[in-house]
Amino acid sequence: MTLIRGRTACVMLLCFAVAFGLRLRTDVLRPGGPHWDEPADHHKYLYIAEHPLGSFHIQPTCWRIAVPLLAKVLPFSIYRNFDILSVFFVGLSGCMLYLWLLAIPVNPPRALLGVLMYYCLGGVSKGLLWGVTSPDPASFFFILLALYAIYRENDFLCAVALMAGVLAKETVLLAAPLHYTLRAASLWDYRRFKRLVLVCAPCVCALAAVRILIPAWNDRDDYVRSLPFIYTQVSAGMVKYDLLTAFRGTMASYAQLSPINLLRAVSYGTLGIHLFLPFFSPEANRNPLLRWTPYWLPTLLSMLIALNPERRVSALFPMLIVLGLNGMDALADILRLETRHSQVLFGLLLSPLLLKKDVTIVPFDIVAAVFLCWLCFVVARFQRLPSPALSKTRPLYPADLR
């Protein structure tokens, strides 16, 4: 027990050290910087933190109150408080990811590999630190906390995580159906469904309450005119916000990109090697992919109504890490590798994020070059290929995800 606690403490220290190191090596969005004066959401979150709760009524940011409230109570300047919170939640997300993988269960070396895979994905690590005021680091932490509670069969903790998470950002609600799909014993599991309803009730009530208590006034011209321009722009220069308007604004934004750049943003350019690892083990990943459908499908569909597709597709990281671990295990079985050899690969992929301040997502050509160099080295180092029948790796399928 002491060894387990000591190992977990070391991993937690590593997570916060990596988060702090990434922050030091990030050209963050800051006052006076090249993108600061753009009418984006960072102005709105600062406004919420600097003014009384409920005094801002431009949706959807007016309902994302959890992180601005935390920034309000910390003892430093509002901007610095947001900065501290972003580093804290990025570090805490790595810790929670490790604990969640252990709860699946995954052995500690593979769980550490999952942590390295998380920090290599720049869209959910360094990219979030760049935004400073973004609620995404907190929302990803609460998603991971809910996943940990699901595998620990702790419904109370799951309900608390979802309720707090939707107050940070409403997209945390997408993790709620996983309480059923990841652990249901059959396609229709009445007892599990009843527990799902009880777990989801608090977060649904929280979503409804914050929308009632803080009404959206995007369509009130007098209120919109009373605010500076930087606080009123929601989607592609529009103040109005509904599904149709958001869809039109997002499509207008995508139209400014070339097809290849748009494809790169929503696939390999953002996800890098994480996009391809699951294909090394299609059989083991079939069941997990199906069970994660209530999460990955609406997340992908949200790119039709939300700007910044890199951020939305990066939100798939919990599922991609589970599938990617299976893929790395299959590759390791073929090449007769140990987990530490895979850890070296992702340590190398993490290094560009720590070395270059202006890199938030490692370019795919660099990712591919690092992977191919690593692959050539391990093939040359371990030339004897085992029979697939000798595989000793236990994939996360199907019993672990029942």
Domain residue extents for the chain: 2-384+393-401
Task: Name the band, by pLDDT with cuts 50, 70 and 90, for residue 209.
Answer: very high
Report pLDDT digits (tens) over 261-294: 899 989 999 999 999 999 999 999 999 999 999 9
Say which residues have a Cβ less than 8 Å from residue 338's Cβ, sequence separation at least 6.
332
Between 59 and 201, the higher pLDDT residue: 201
Say which residues have a Cβ less than 8 Å from residue 358's Cβ, sequence separation at least 6.
27
Tokens 């509002």 identify what position?
78
Task: Name the band, by pLDDT with cuts 50, 70 and 90, for residue 137.
Answer: very high
Q: Is the pLDDT of residue 397 over 70?
A: no
Encode 200-227: b = buried (16+ Cβ within 10 Å), e = exposed: bebbeebbeebeeebeebbeeeeebeeb
CA distance linking residue 380 with residue 382, whole number of Å: 6
Between 79 and 234, the higher pLDDT residue: 79
Q: Is the pLDDT of residue 132 over 70?
A: yes
What is the mean predicted confidence (pLDDT) over 194-219? 95
Task: Name the band, by pLDDT with cuts 50, 70 and 90, for residue 391.
Answer: very low
Among 26-30, 186-190, 228-232, 304-308, the least confident range: 304-308
With beta carbons less than 8 A apart as the criterion, state whether 270 and 314 touch.
yes
Considering the chain, what percentage of its residues have pLDDT values greater than 70? 94
Check residue 248 and give its pLDDT.
85
Considering the chain, what percentage of its residues have pLDDT values greater than 90? 69
Check residue 52 and give its pLDDT.
94
With beta carbons less than 8 A apart as the criterion, state whether 65 and 210 touch.
yes
What is the mean predicted confidence (pLDDT) over 187-211? 95
Check residue 394 and give its pLDDT.
56
Check residue 379 and give its pLDDT.
87
Check residue 242 and give its pLDDT.
81
Report pLDDT digits (tens) over 292-335: 999 999 999 999 988 888 889 999 999 999 999 999 999 999 88
Check residue 401 and give its pLDDT.
45
Q: Is the pLDDT of residue 402 over 60?
A: no
Say which residues have a Cβ less than 8 Å from residue 330's Cβ, sequence separation at least 6.
280, 281, 284, 393, 395
Q: Is the pLDDT of residue 398 over 60?
A: no
With beta carbons less than 8 A apart as the criterion, state whether 94 and 17 touch.
no
Q: What is the DSSP letter of 238?
A: B
Check residue 359 and give its pLDDT.
77
Task: Name the band, by pLDDT with cuts 50, 70 and 90, for residue 49.
Answer: very high
Q: Is the pLDDT of residue 384 over 50?
A: yes
What is the mean predicted confidence (pLDDT) over 166-183? 96
Check residue 179 and give its pLDDT.
97
What is the mean predicted confidence (pLDDT) over 22-41? 89
Helix (H, G, I), strand (E, B) or coil at 285: helix
| Mean pLDDT for all residues in the chain | 90
Please, which residues bridge with residue 235 across strands?
Answer: 238
Check residue 35 and give its pLDDT.
84
The two structure tokens encoding residue 35:
């993108």
Q: Is the pLDDT of residue 131 over 70?
A: yes
What is the mean predicted confidence (pLDDT) over 146-166? 97
This prediction's pTM? 0.93
